[in-house]
Structure 1
Amino acid sequence: MISRIQPRNFLRSNGIQKSFSTSSVRSSEPKLSVAVEKVSLSRGLSMNKFEKDFLIYPEYNDTDDLKNIEGFTDVLRQTLEVATKAGDVEKAGCLTDDIKYALEKNQICSTFVPSDYEGLGMCRKDLAHIFQELSIDWNIFANVSTVYIASQLLILYGNEEQKTKYLPLIANGKCRPAITLANLKGNQEMLGECVSSTGSSMLLSVKDVPMLASENANLLFVFAKNKNHLTKSNGISCILVDTNNISSTGKLSFKREDSTGLKGTNVAMVSLESTIDSSLVLGDGDQGLEIIKELTCSGRFPLAAATIGHARRLLTKLSVIANRTPSSRDDNSFVASDSGAQYVATTLALNLYSLESSLFYLVGLLDEGIPMVADVENALIFKLTRDVLRNCVLATIELGGIRASSTKEQFEKDIRDISTILSLNGEGDIVESTAIATLSTWTTTSHKRITSTLRRLLSNEKTNADLKNPKLSHYIAEHAHPSLQLACQELEFSMSRLNTVISKMVSEQGKNLEQDYGSLEGMVNVLKNQMVMVAVISRASRSYAIGLRNADIELAWATTIYYRDLIGLNLRQCQIILVLFGSTLLY
C-alpha cells in the first residue's frame, strides 16, 4: 500500500502571480535558518537530503478547475487551427488578422494579468496548458511570450502607478511590448546610457540593441547605465519607454533583422534618443541586473510548455508517416517497424515525458504558494527543453525523410523556427551558474575542511566505501508505488554518490573547481536526472493512487527512465568525474 501524505492546501494565489525564477522569493540562496531541503529540491538532493513532501505530485484539488482549463484550451486549439494557414504568417511577416482575432477572442493576454488589474489571473498550471497550444505556430508563441514576460516584469518590479497604467492595457491587448534579447549581463557594451539631471527627466540614448518586439510596439523595456551627476553613482536601470510619450525632438528607429526562422516575429535592432521621465524606471534605480536575470528566467517556463505542445503534435504526425511509409530495409514492412526509427521516436517520447512531468511538478509546487527557491530547477527545466527541441529536429529528419526538407511541408518551417528559438535562447553560462549555485549552498551547509593527513586518508577510504555501497537513509520507497521500490532506492543511491563526489571535488580543487567545466557539467546532468526521477516517481504514484486509466503506463515509463537515467547516465557521470580526479571507478 502506498503511504500518502496529506496534500497541501492548493492556493489559487488570488490572481497574483510570481515568476518561475529566483526573483519569486527575492533570493538565490536559501536562508540557513530553514533546512535547505525544505526550500530547494535540487540543492537538497545534492547534499543527500530529501523532504518527503516533495514526493507529492501537485494537482488540481477541484476537478472543475481542470475541466475549465481543458474546455478553455479546446476552444483555443480549435480557433487557432482554423486561423492558422500554412505559409500565411511568413508571407505577411507578422501574425495574420485571423490569428490576432483568435488570440483576442480567447483573451490570451488577460490570462497573464492578475484579476486586480482587469485580468483573468490564471495560475501557472493553467498558463502551461495555454502555452502548449500556442506553439501550433512558433511565431504565435514568440509574440505572446513577449507579452507574458513584460507582464511578469511589471508585476514583480513595477510600482503601483506603473501597474495600474500598463497591466490593464496588456489585459485588453492594447499594450504591445518589446523586450531586450541580448544577455546584457555579459555584454555591457550593448547597454544604453541614461543621464540623470537635477529635474525629473533623464536623457536616454540607446543604439542598435536587439529586441523581440510585438508588431507596432508601444512599450519598450530598455536597459541602460544610469549616470547620476548628483550622487556620482553608476548603476544599471530598466526603463519603460512609452512610445506615445517620446518627445518631439526624440528619435526612435526599428531596423528589422532577417532571421532564418520566426519570419512572422519582429526581431529588430532598436535605436533611441529621447528625454524620459524618471518615474518610468522599473524597480529600484539600480536593479537592472536583477531584472535582466528575471527577464531571462521568465521566458523559460512558457518555452518549456510550448515545447511540450509542439513535441506532442510532432509525434502524432511522425507516427502517421512512419506507419504509411514503406521501409527501405525490409520488404512488406513500414518505417515504424525499423528498430532505428523506434529508437528515435522512443528517445523523443521519453524526454518529452520527463519534461512534461518536471514542468507541471514545479509549477504546481509554486502554485501552492510554497516558499521555495526555484532557480536551479528553472535552469534544469531549460536544459530539458533544449534537449527536447533538439530531439524534435532529429526525429523530424530521421522519420520525416525527404518531407523534412520540402518547402511544401510544415516540417521545414518548424526546423527553421526551432533553430532560431534555440539561437535566441542559448545556454550561455547556465552550466556554470547552476553548478556554482548548488556548490555554494553545499559548501556553506555541509563542507568541513580536513586538515589532518591521517583523517584525510581515512576519509578517502570512507569515500570509496560510500561510492561502492551507498546506504538507504530516507526510505523514499515507503511513499511511492511498490513497483517503483527499486527506482526510489536507486534515487537515494544516486543522491548519496553525488554528495560524496561533490565532497571529493570540493576537497581536491576548491575554488579552482569553477574552471572545471567537465566536472560541473557532469554534476548538472546528475541533478537534472534526479529532478526528473522525483517528478516521474511522484506522478506515477499519484496516478495509481487516484486510479487514473493510464496509471500502469506511467509506472512503466517511470521504471524505464529509472533504468536509463539513474542506473545508466548518473552512474556513468559520477564515474567520469572520479576518473578526472584520478580515482578508481565505482565498480
Structure 2
Amino acid sequence: MSSTRIIRLSSRLTNKAANRSYAAAAINKEKPKDAPKKRAESTKAIYDSPSFGMNMFRGLFQSSQVFPYPVSLDDERRETLSMIIGPAEKFFEEVNDATKNDEEAKIPKEVLRQFGELGALGAVVPVEYEGAGLNNTQMARLAEIVGANDLAMGVVMGAHQSIGYKGILLYGNEEQKKKYLPDLATGRKFAAFCLTEPSSGSDANSIRTRAVKSSDGKHYVINGGKIWISNGGFADVFTVFAQTQVVGKDGVTKDKVSAFIVERAYGGVTNGPPEKKMGIKGSNTAEVHFEDVKVPIENMLGEEGEGFKVAMNILNNGRFGIPAACTGSMKHCIQKTIEHVTTRTQFGAKLETYGMVKEKIAEMLLRHYVTESIVYMLAANMDKGATEYQIEAAIGKIVGSENAWWVCDEAIQLHGGMGFMKECGLERVLRDLRIFRIFEGANDVMRLFVALTGCQYAGMHLKELAKKVQSGNLKLIFSEAQKRASRSFGMSSGPSMSGVVHSALTDSAKLASISIDQFGAAVESLLREHGKNVIDQQFLLRRIADAAIDIYSMVAVLSRCSHALEQNAPSMKHEQEIVDVFCKQASKRVMVNLQALKSDDSKKEFKQLAAMAEAVCKNGSLVQQHPLGV
C-alpha cells in the first residue's frame, strides 16, 4: 500500500465512533498509567498494547498474555480454594433448592445469609475488609460451582459483588472501603448496580437520572429511575449513575455522568414489585426510584464527570464471571447427557453408539473446553495485573453465554421428551441461561465493541506507519511491500508460534497463524475502504468480530493444551484431539467470514437483507401475501 493511501486512510480514522453508542464509546476505556494520555499530541512512539486481542487486529501475534498458559495457583491459594469448594458444593446439595427458588421466584434471606457465611459474597474482597481474599482465578472456580447448580443464585451473587459494589473496590477511597466493604463482603448488607433506564439500554451515556449539587456543596440531590435492577428489591447499597453538570477546562458547562454510592437508608429510595421473568426467577429484579435523595458529596465514586468510565470498567472487570458460571452450567448439562445416553436404549442399542449422538456430544466437549480455556486465561491475566483485556473479556462473555445456550439446548434434544419435562431440570437451566446473552452487554453490542475497539487500535498504528513511510524509511517500505506481496500470492504463513506452542500441535498452530495474518490484512482493507464510516458497516463488523472470536479461541485452547502436553497430563491426548478438531473448524469459519468482507455476492446479499428488513418496518407488518389469499 502506498504512503499516500496510508495517509489518506489515517486522516479518515477519527474518534467519531466513541460518541455513537455504548460499544464505540467503550473504546475509550482507561489505558495503563504508562500509556500516553493524548496520542495525537504526543511526540513519542504510539502505544503498543500487550493485549493479544488488540494486536491480532494488526495481524500480529502478541504472546505475552497467552503463552505459556497463565494459570498458576500457589499451594496456599490451592488449599484455600479446596476449603471453599467442598462447603460450597455441600451448600447447594443440602441448603439451596434451585427448583423451589424458581417456583417461588425468590431465594430466602436465610439461604443468602448462609451463602454469605461461606465467603461467597465477598470472594475477592481483601481480608482486612472481612472478605475471603480470593483472586480472580479462585473466584472463577467458585462461580463455576454456582453456575452448575443455580444460575439465579449466580445472578444474585454477581449483581452483588461483580458489579454491585465492585466500584467501591476499584474506585473507592480508603474511607469508603472501610465504611461499606465489611457489611457487603459478609452479606450483612446487599448491593445493586443502577445504570439501565427506560431510555438507555446499551447506550449508557443517554441516562436521564440527575444529580444536582446543593448550594452549600455538601451533598447531591438525585432524582430519576432505573429499570431491571438485579437485587433492586432488597439491596441496601446502590452504585448509581447520574448526569451532573461539569465545568470543562474551556469554561463550558456540560452534562457528564458521575457515579455515586447511595444508601437506601438515606430516604427517597423506593423499588417496584419483582419483575416476572422467563428465567433466573429466584433472583430479584425490580425498578428502583430515587426521589430527592440526598447523597453526601464524599459518596461520589471516582472523579466528577467520569462515571461512564467507572461504569465501563466495573462491567469489564466483572465480565469474566458470566463465562465462568456458564462453564459450570455446561459441565452440568454434559454430565446429565452422558448419564442419559449411556443408559438409554433405543432401537436395540444404547444412544451413545449412534453417530449423530456422538457428534453432538463431541461438539459439547469442544464448546466447553474453549470456554473454560478462555475463562481461566482471562482470570489469570487479571491476577497478574493486566490492565488491557477488554476485548478478551467481551469475547469470553459472548463465547460463554452462546456456548452454554447451545450445549443446554442439545442436552434437552438428546433427552428427547424427557428433557422437555420439568422433572429433568434442564428446562429451568435453558430458561435461566437465556439472559446471559443480554445483560452486562448484549452480545450484539459486544460484537460491535470487539470489532470497533480492535479497528481503532489498528487504525492508530496505520497512521503511525504512514508517518514512517512518508519519512522515507526504505527498510520499512521494503518490509511492508514484501509482506503485502506474500499475502497477495498466498505465500504468507502468518506470525510464527514456534517455541511457544507444543510441537504436537504444530499443524493446528499453523492454522491459527494464517488466520491471524489474514485477519490483520482484512481489517486493514476494511479501514482503507470505509475509514471513519466503518462504524456504520455492521454487516461487516459482525463478521470481523466473529473471526476475532474464533482466533482468540484457537489461541486459548492451543495454549492450554500445550501446557497439558508439557506437564504430561493424563488427559493430554484427549485434549489434543479437541484442539485439533476445533482449530480446523474455527479456521474455516474465519476464512468464510473474511471472504464475506470483500465478496461481491456477500455485499449484494447484505443489501438484500437490509432491503427486506426496511420493507417490513416501513409496512409495519409482514409484506408477503398469504399463500391462501385470505
**TM-score range with shorter-chain normalisation?**
0.7 to 0.9
C-alpha deviation, 1:485, in angstroms: 1.0
1:303-382 map, 5 Å: 303-327=322-346, 331-370=347-386, 372-382=387-397
| Residue number among 148, 164, 171 corresponding to 2:185 in the alignment | 171
CA shift in 2, pair 1:30/1:133, >3 Å: farther
Residue aligning to 2:580: 559
CA shift in 2, pair 1:253/1:533, >3 Å: closer
Q: Which amino acid is the alignment partner of residue 598 of structure 2?
A: L
| Residue number among 408, 422, 427 corresponding to 1:407 in the alignment | 422
SS at match of 1:485: helix
Residue aligning to 1:570: 590
Is contact 2:323-2:396 (8 Å) kept? yes
CA shift in 2, pair 1:26/1:333, >3 Å: farther
Looking at structure 2, the residues matched to 325 and 57 of structure 1 have their Cα atoms a distance apart, in angstroms, of 39
C-alpha deviation, 1:443, in angstroms: 1.5
Q: Which amino acid is the alignment partner of residue 169 of structure 1?
A: D
Which whole-Å deviations, capped at 9, do the CAs of 1:421-469 have from their partners, x for residues lacking one? Answer: 4343422422222211111111211355699xxxxxxx99985750552
- Which deviates further from its counterpart, 31-40 or 569-578? 31-40
SS at match of 1:195: strand
Q: Which amino acid is the alignment partner of residue 142 of structure 1?
A: V
Residue aligning to 2:131: 119
Q: Indicate whether 1:194 and 2:211 are aligned.
A: yes
Is contact 2:152-2:281 (8 Å) kept? yes
Is contact 2:259-2:306 (8 Å) kept? yes
C-alpha deviation, 1:339, in angstroms: 2.6
| Residue number among 510, 515, 526 corresponding to 1:505 in the alignment | 526
Looking at structure 2, the residues matched to 379 and 302 of structure 1 have their Cα atoms a distance apart, in angstroms, of 11
Is contact 1:80-1:99 (8 Å) kept? no
Q: Indicate whether 1:79 and 2:91 are aligned.
A: yes
C-alpha deviation, 1:27, in angstroms: 9.9
Looking at structure 2, the residues matched to 23 and 464 of structure 1 have their Cα atoms a distance apart, in angstroms, of 37
Looking at structure 1, the residues matched to 37 and 583 of structure 2 have their Cα atoms a distance apart, in angstroms, of 29
C-alpha deviation, 1:389, in angstroms: 2.4
CA shift in 2, pair 1:554/1:70, >3 Å: farther
Identity %: 17
1:92-491 map, 5 Å: 92-96=104-108, 99-135=111-147, 136-148=149-161, 149-180=163-194, 182=196, 186=203, 190-199=207-216, 200-207=218-225, 209-213=227-231, 216-227=234-245, 232-246=253-267, 250=268, 252-273=270-291, 274-327=293-346, 331-370=347-386, 372-425=387-440, 426-446=442-462, 463=484, 465-472=486-493, 474-491=495-512
Is contact 1:37-1:50 (8 Å) kept? no
Is contact 1:55-1:479 (8 Å) kept? yes
SS at match of 1:239: strand
Looking at structure 2, the residues matched to 241 and 289 of structure 1 have their Cα atoms a distance apart, in angstroms, of 17
Looking at structure 2, the residues matched to 257 and 108 of structure 1 have their Cα atoms a distance apart, in angstroms, of 25
CA shift in 2, pair 1:260/1:474, >3 Å: closer
* C-alpha RMSD of the superposition: 3.1
CA shift in 2, pair 1:503/1:188, >3 Å: closer
Residue aligning to 1:536: 557
SS at match of 1:437: helix
SS at match of 2:570: coil
Looking at structure 2, the residues matched to 582 and 312 of structure 1 have their Cα atoms a distance apart, in angstroms, of 37
Residue aligning to 1:524: 545
Is contact 2:394-2:446 (8 Å) kept? yes
SS at match of 2:239: strand
TM-score by length of 1: 0.85
- Which deviates further from its counterpart, 79-88 or 161-170? 79-88
SS at match of 1:113: coil
- Which deviates further from its counterpart, 350-359 or 276-285? 276-285
Looking at structure 2, the residues matched to 31 and 51 of structure 1 have their Cα atoms a distance apart, in angstroms, of 24
CA shift in 2, pair 1:553/1:306, >3 Å: same
CA shift in 2, pair 1:27/1:409, >3 Å: farther
C-alpha deviation, 1:381, in angstroms: 0.9
| Residue number among 26, 30, 54 corresponding to 1:43 in the alignment | 54
Is contact 1:139-1:264 (8 Å) kept? yes
SS at match of 1:429: helix
Looking at structure 1, the residues matched to 32 and 184 of structure 2 have their Cα atoms a distance apart, in angstroms, of 24
SS at match of 2:240: strand
Which whole-Å deviations, capped at 9, do the CAs of 1:268-308 have from their partners, x for residues lacking one? Answer: 01112122222222211111211222343244211110000
C-alpha deviation, 1:77, in angstroms: 0.9
Is contact 1:519-1:577 (8 Å) kept? yes
C-alpha deviation, 1:580, in angstroms: 4.5
SS at match of 1:476: coil
C-alpha deviation, 1:61, in angstroms: 5.2
Q: Which amino acid is the alignment partner of residue 379 of structure 1?
A: A
SS at match of 1:209: strand
Is contact 1:157-1:282 (8 Å) kept? yes
CA shift in 2, pair 1:231/1:213, >3 Å: farther
Looking at structure 2, the residues matched to 510 and 174 of structure 1 have their Cα atoms a distance apart, in angstroms, of 52
C-alpha deviation, 1:267, in angstroms: 0.6
Looking at structure 2, the residues matched to 184 and 242 of structure 1 have their Cα atoms a distance apart, in angstroms, of 24
Looking at structure 1, the residues matched to 592 and 89 of structure 2 have their Cα atoms a distance apart, in angstroms, of 42
TM-score by length of 2: 0.80
Is contact 2:342-2:350 (8 Å) kept? yes
Looking at structure 2, the residues matched to 340 and 484 of structure 1 have their Cα atoms a distance apart, in angstroms, of 27
SS at match of 2:498: helix
Is contact 1:110-1:170 (8 Å) kept? yes
Which whole-Å deviations, capped at 9, do the CAs of 1:376-408 have from their partners, x for residues lacking one? Answer: 111111110122122133213311221232233
Runs of 5+ unmatched residues, structure 1: 1-20, 452-458
Residue aligning to 2:513: 492
Alignment coverage as a number of residue pairs: 549
C-alpha deviation, 1:84, in angstroms: 2.7
Looking at structure 2, the residues matched to 299 and 577 of structure 1 have their Cα atoms a distance apart, in angstroms, of 33
- Which deviates further from its counterpart, 286-295 or 418-427? 418-427
Looking at structure 1, the residues matched to 422 and 208 of structure 2 have their Cα atoms a distance apart, in angstroms, of 39
CA shift in 2, pair 1:342/1:479, >3 Å: same
C-alpha deviation, 1:177, in angstroms: 0.9
Looking at structure 2, the residues matched to 255 and 492 of structure 1 have their Cα atoms a distance apart, in angstroms, of 53
Is contact 1:118-1:171 (8 Å) kept? yes
C-alpha deviation, 1:208, in angstroms: 5.1
Residue aligning to 1:4: none
SS at match of 1:39: coil
Q: Which amino acid is the alignment partner of residue 316 of structure 1?
A: Q
Looking at structure 2, the residues matched to 214 and 173 of structure 1 have their Cα atoms a distance apart, in angstroms, of 15
Q: Which amino acid is the alignment partner of residue 375 of structure 1?
A: Q
Is contact 2:144-2:329 (8 Å) kept? yes
- Which deviates further from its counterpart, 108-117 or 181-190? 181-190
CA shift in 2, pair 1:63/1:115, >3 Å: closer
